[in-house]
Amino acid sequence: MVDNKFVRAVFPGSFDPITNGHMDVIQRSVKIFDELIVAVGDSPSKDALFSGEQRVAMIQELISEMPEVKVERFTGLTVEYVKSKDAQVIVRGLRNLTDVQYEFQLAMTNRAVSGVETVFIMTDEKYGFTSSTLIREVGRFGGDVSSLVPASIYTKLKERLQALGR
């Protein structure tokens, strides 16, 4: 007999900025899980282009038609945040083979220290090369990243880079 268990998943990341690849993972995740929390992490080691509040607001705008998705900020260890939300699963997007090695090690560590499982979701192949870091870098040098991020994010990215004189 199958138990209809409610499954809450957490999709953690910096989302600086959120990309079409991230949105692809979100859209695939809501087909699998009852609830998805997009957890916007604040990492002191990263030089963020957008503040945590700005990243949350941008994502909330994008998921406004998805009632099963919530967006929250967090600091600290991802597994501690996941446990505090009574979530059963961490969602991680995979783009390419380079991601697999890193994400596999991270998933094994997370499971060993907390018992939390990780589910990997492959992004569409057209996003296999896309990363927030790459988008920020190309954008800083005036490259066209409009096909890599949602339209509203592209506008905000251009405005932010202009404000910073880049």
Active site residues: 22, 46, 95, 132
Whole-angstrom Cα distance, residue 136 to residue 84? 31
Q: What is the DSSP letter of 123?
A: P
| Strands ordered across the beta sheet of 69-74 | 69-74, 35-41, 8-13, 89-94, 117-122
Closest listed residue to residue 139, CA positions, set 19, 14, 10, 24: 19
**The one-letter amino acid at 147:** S
Whole-angstrom Cα distance, residue 154 to residue 33? 28
CA distances (Å), origin 63, targets 28, 40, 71, 98, 105:
13, 14, 9, 28, 30
